[in-house]
Amino acid sequence: MAAFSNHEIIGGLTAYELPIYDADTAELYIYDIAVSCDIASGASFNER
């Protein structure tokens, strides 16, 4: 999954789905998450 702002990637998420075999459900585990340095520092898009 990716987050975009003005056609620019500003963040991303990688996860995997683990089926639960004794129930009709699954769990989603976040493997990695990333955020643009400009977003993480609080800079607005106009300051770049």
pLDDT in tens, 3-44: 898 888 889 999 999 999 999 999 999 989 888 887 655 555
pLDDT number for residue 48: 45
pLDDT number for residue 33: 87
* Domain span at 36: 2-41
Instruction: Evaluate whether residue 27 is within a structural domain.
Output: yes
pLDDT number for residue 42: 58
Query: Residue 38 CB: number of other CB atoms within 10 A?
Result: 15
Instruction: Evaluate whether residue 46 is within a structural domain.
Output: no
- Pull the structure tokens for residue 5: 């702002």
- Pull the structure tokens for residue 34: 């990333």
Instruction: Evaluate whether residue 32 is within a structural domain.
Output: yes
Q: Which residue has the higher pLDDT, 15 or 45?
A: 15
The domain total for the chain is: 1
List the beta bridge partners of residue 38.
none
